[in-house]
Structure 1
Amino acid sequence: MPCRSAGHQVSCLVKGSPCPGPAARTCAPCSPSPSPSASSAPPRYPPPRYPPARCPPARQTPPGPRAAKSLTCRGAGVDPAARVRHRAEILVHAPLRTVWKLQTDVERWPSWQAPVTTAERLDHGPLRRGSAFRWTTPVPPNPTPATRLDITSTVEQLRYRSCIRWTGPATGEGLHIDGVHVWNFTEVPGGVRVSTEETHTGPQVDADVPTATAILRQGLEAWLSDLKTTAEARTPHRPN
Structure 2
Amino acid sequence: MAAVPPAQAAPAPASAPAPAQAPAGRGGSACRGHGVDPAARIRYGSDVVIHASLARIWTLQTDVERWPVWQPPVTGAERLDAGPLRKGSRFHWTTPAPATPTTAATTLEITSTVRQLQRGGCVLWSGPAVGEGLRIDEGVHLWTFTEVDGGVRVHTEETWTGAQVEADVPTATAALAAGLEAWLRDLKTTAEHA
**For the superposition of Structure 1 and Structure 2, which TM-score range results when normalised by the shorter chain?**
0.7 to 0.9
Please say if residues 92 and 193 of structure 1, whose CA atoms lie closer than 8 Å, have aligned partners that are also in contact.
yes
Correspondences of 1:90-239 after superposition (within 5 Å): 90-142=48-100, 143-177=102-136, 178-234=138-194
Kindly provide the amino acid, as one letter, of the partner of residue 103 in structure 2.
T
Q: How large is the Cα RMSD of the aligned pairs?
A: 1.3
Larger relative CO (CA 8 A, sep 6+): 1 or 2? 2
Correspondences of 1:30-49 after superposition (within 5 Å): none
Question: What fraction of aligned residue pairs are identical, expressed as a percent?
Answer: 65
Which structure has the larger Rg?
1
Query: Where in structure 1 do 4 or more consecutive aligned residues deviate above 2 Å?
Result: 66-70
1:174, CA displacement in angstroms? 2.0
1:146, CA displacement in angstroms? 4.5
Deviations 1:129-188 (A, max 9, x none): 010000000012222234111000000100000000001000011221110000000000
2:4 maps to: none
1:70 maps to: 28
| Structure-1 separation of matches of 2:142 and 2:133 | 26
TM-score by length of 1: 0.69
1:23 maps to: none
| Structure-1 separation of matches of 2:176 and 2:27 | 19
Q: Which runs of 5+ in 2 are unaligned?
A: 1-21
SS of residue paired to 2:180 = helix
Higher helix share: 2
Match status 1:81 vs 2:39: yes
Q: Which runs of 5+ in 1 are unaligned?
A: 1-65, 235-240
Please say if residues 46 and 156 of structure 2, whose CA atoms lie closer than 8 Å, have aligned partners that are also in contact.
yes
Please say if residues 144 and 173 of structure 1, whose CA atoms lie closer than 8 Å, have aligned partners that are also in contact.
no
The size of the alignment, in residue pairs, is 169
| Structure-1 separation of matches of 2:116 and 2:105 | 30
